[in-house]
Structures are given as structure tokens and as C-alpha cells.
Structure 1
Amino acid sequence: MAKAVLVSDFDGTMTANDFYKLAVQRLLPSDALAPWEEYRAGAITHFTALQRIFGRLRATPEVLQALVQDMQPDPGLARAVADLRQAGWEIVVASAGCDWYIRQVLAQVGVVLDVHANPGEHVLPEGSLRMDAPEESPFYCLETGVDKAAIVRFHQDRGARVAFAGDGFADLPAALAAAPGLRFARADLAAILDKRREAYRPFAVWSDIARALLAGEAAS
């Protein structure tokens, strides 16, 4: 069991762009974000919102591959992962998105990580992206499909020093489960932590987190 674990969100955290946002901007009609607005209003779950958005896609494999390419993973990702592992850190991806594109992005940059995300597949010939709930996972939850906070606590309960990194509203419970000095945030997550007056460490790209941890700047 690793003594130090970095649990990281994927879309918008390890990458510059979220897959669902690219899909909405390029492939879907103007009302495509209606499920997301319903989620923000508390009418449906985060999982249901993404599932409905992905289900409306009608795209060829080539078109979806272009979206995957344009997620823009941190150029320093592979080096940062290697450096963290050399220093004894385990890296775990915890995402409320779909593993269909996450694994492709990681493969493109030559990185193999433990991934907890919602399973999915590109359904042909209709061209939708089907996302299912990981109901057999020990970290399954109704709201997001994957309970990121439960993953943080799982490693904490085994005595690990656990850091968390994220960028979205749904990352809040996992961020709060980590010690303030091991809590990394940007974008919506940073905004909500600011509003709650909760401490965190800001980052611009994922490799910033690795540098902070390796420099010993994050205190437990």
C-alpha cells in the first residue's frame, strides 16, 4: 500500500478542456446544456446530466477522436507522473466523466494510471456516446457515478498521505476530505472553496501539483 497517494480529477484538471464542453460547443444544438442546468438547479444528478448530453451525440469515430485530441492534456503530464512515482507517490484518477475518452488520452501521452470513472462506449452506427453507472464498483454513488471522496477516504484509512486535485463543483466533497495543504484546486472548485473560506493550493496545470508535492511545499 502506497504511503502517499494523489487522487486527481481528469477533465479540466489533467487536461485543459472538458470533453463534454467540447462536445456541446462543436457537435450539439444550443439547448444541449439544458441537462447541465437541471443538474446545477438540483433537479437531476451530475451523472444523469452527462449521460443525457453524451447520449445526444451523433458523431463518427473520427469526429470524436478529434475531440479527444483537443482535450489538451498537460504537456508535462508524463514527466510529472514519472517524477511522482519515483518519489513514492501513487496517482489515482477519480472522474465523474467517461472512461472511454480518459483511457484514450492517457494512452496518447504514454501514461498508465489506476482509473475510476464511468464506463462507456461509442455506439455505432448512431454515433452516440453511451455512459453507464459503475454499480459494481466499491466507489459507486448515485450522484456522480464515482464517489471521489470515498476514494480519498479509502486511502486515508490505510494510512496514506492523500492529496486531491480538482476543478469542478462536484469535486468539493473530495477536496474537503483532504487536508488543506494537500488540497489543490482551480476554476469552479477554487471558487466554491473561496466562498466557503476553505484553504487550498491553486494550480494552473497538473504538473504544478507534482512540483509542489515533490518540493515538499504541501504540508499535511
Structure 2
Amino acid sequence: MKTFAFVSDFDGTLTEKDFYHIIIDTYLQDWGRPFYEDWKKTKKINVEFLNKILGSIGRNEEEILTEIHRIPLDEYAVDFIRRVQEAGGEFYILSAGTTYYINRLLAHRQIEGVTVISMNGAYKDGGIVVTPDETSPYFSEIFGINKAKVIEELKKEFETVFFAGDSEPDLGAAKEADIAFAKKDLKELLSKEQQEFVPFENFKEIEKYLEDRGWFA
């Protein structure tokens, strides 16, 4: 078996802000924020929600690409990915968003050697359409992708699987991982279920945790 994999959620974990929040704040201020607040009262942030927001951008693809390039990564993320790779680990991004913006940001930031597991997306009529693969073994009717099942599969390949996340779609994956790092809402969700986790605010803290335990030279 391979030694270890580090798996990270993208929006709000590897990045400082969810892409859909960037879109709401930039283009949909009049109705986007109330829509988001009303949606959260009764529903989960799911594929239907993403398609409503991302499909309403109303800009050409070049303008949307500019916003993607501006997505703020955790300031320590790039160095952390490099440390994982130098230590012989493999880095995965596991997202209930879409490869449409993830892959474009990685290319823009020249981040290589990262495996992205997410949903397909395409530009259409001024916005982005997210399309879950319903034939995938990782398909989820709610979030589009079942992160827990992905972690289950990776544990067959790696001796240790780390996971970092921040919100409800990450809960199952955090519970399946050998060691989970949690921030924001995920901390509360794991605490409620009496699950062990390592709290963090940025990837420098995770780096120190792994250094102290001998994972990084």
C-alpha cells in the first residue's frame, strides 16, 4: 500500500471563501444573499442551489474566468501541497463544487500533481451548469458526490488517509478518515456526534501538526 494521502475539501477549506459566495457578493447582491439565507432555513446547500447561483452570473466566459483566477486560496495551501508531495504523499481535492473552476484555478496558480474529484461543469448562457455523474459509485442525490465513499476507497490504497473540511458535505468523509482536520461548521457537526478531530484555521497549523508527528521531514 502507499503511505498516505491528504484529501482536502476545496471551497472554504483550501480556499478562504466559497466560490458561490464570491459570485453572490460580486454579481447577485440584490437577490443572492436573501436567497441564500432563505434556502439555508429549510434546505442543504446542494446541486440545485449551486446551479441556481452559478447559472445566474450573467457574464461571458472570459469574465467568469477572471473571477475564478481571483479565488483566494489559504495563504499556506500551495506550500502545504508541496510539503505533502515532498514527503511522498498524494494530495487530493474532494469537492461538492465543480472541476470547472477548480481545475482552472489550479492551472492558473501552476499547482501540479493534484488529483481532483468533483462534479463536471460547463459554461452555458452566461453561467456555469454543474452536472453530477449519476453513474458514479460516489454519486449522492443531495450533494452530487458522496465524500465518505471516496475516502472509503482511498483507504484501500493508502495506509493513512487525512481529510480536511469545513461544512456539512464533509461530515461523512471526516468520520471515515484516519485523521480529520475541521474548521467552521464541521467542528460543531463532529463535536455533536462525539467524533475526534483536529481543529484548524489554516494549513500552516496542519503542517505543524504533521511535522510534530513525523510525517514531514
TM-score of the aligned structures, taking structure 1 as reference length: 0.85
Q: Percent identity?
A: 27
Provide the residue aligned with 1:16 in structure 2. Answer: 16
Code of the aligned partner of 2:122:
E
Does the 8 Å CA contact 2:10/2:95 hold for their aligned counterparts?
Answer: yes
Using the TM superposition, give the Cα deviation of residue 160 of structure 1 relative to its aligned residue in structure 2, in angstroms: 2.4
Using the TM superposition, give the Cα deviation of residue 35 of structure 1 relative to its aligned residue in structure 2, in angstroms: 6.2
CA RMSD across the alignment: 2.3
Q: Secondary structure at the match of 1:3?
A: strand
Q: Secondary structure at the match of 2:6?
A: strand
CA distance in 2, matches of 1:172, 1:38: 20
**Structure 1, unpaired ranges of 5+:** none
Using the TM superposition, give the Cα deviation of residue 4 of structure 1 relative to its aligned residue in structure 2, in angstroms: 0.8
Q: Secondary structure at the match of 1:170?
A: helix
**Where do 1:44-55 residues align within 5 Å?**
46-55=46-55
Code of the aligned partner of 2:123:
H
Provide the residue aligned with 2:189 in structure 1. Answer: 192
Is 1:116 matched with 2:117?
A: yes
Q: Secondary structure at the match of 1:141?
A: coil
Provide the residue aligned with 2:170 in structure 1. Answer: 171
CA distance in 1, matches of 2:195, 2:89: 25
Provide the residue aligned with 2:155 in structure 1. Answer: 156
CA distance in 2, matches of 1:217, 1:202: 19
The alpha-carbon distance between structure 1 residues 168 and 142, as it changes in their structure 2 partners (threshold 3 A), is same
Code of the aligned partner of 1:3:
T
Using the TM superposition, give the Cα deviation of residue 149 of structure 1 relative to its aligned residue in structure 2, in angstroms: 0.7
Using the TM superposition, give the Cα deviation of residue 159 of structure 1 relative to its aligned residue in structure 2, in angstroms: 4.9
Q: Residues 165-220 of structure 1: CA distance to partner in whole angstroms, max 9, x if unpaired?
A: 001121111111123xx1101111112223334321122223432332233179xx
Using the TM superposition, give the Cα deviation of residue 73 of structure 1 relative to its aligned residue in structure 2, in angstroms: 1.0
The number of equivalent residue pairs is 213
CA distance in 2, matches of 1:14, 1:29: 24
TM-score of the aligned structures, taking structure 2 as reference length: 0.87
The alpha-carbon distance between structure 1 residues 104 and 159, as it changes in their structure 2 partners (threshold 3 A), is closer
CA distance in 2, matches of 1:149, 1:101: 22
Using the TM superposition, give the Cα deviation of residue 9 of structure 1 relative to its aligned residue in structure 2, in angstroms: 0.3
Code of the aligned partner of 1:31:
W
Code of the aligned partner of 1:212:
Y
Is 1:183 matched with 2:183?
A: no
Provide the residue aligned with 2:61 in structure 1. Answer: 61
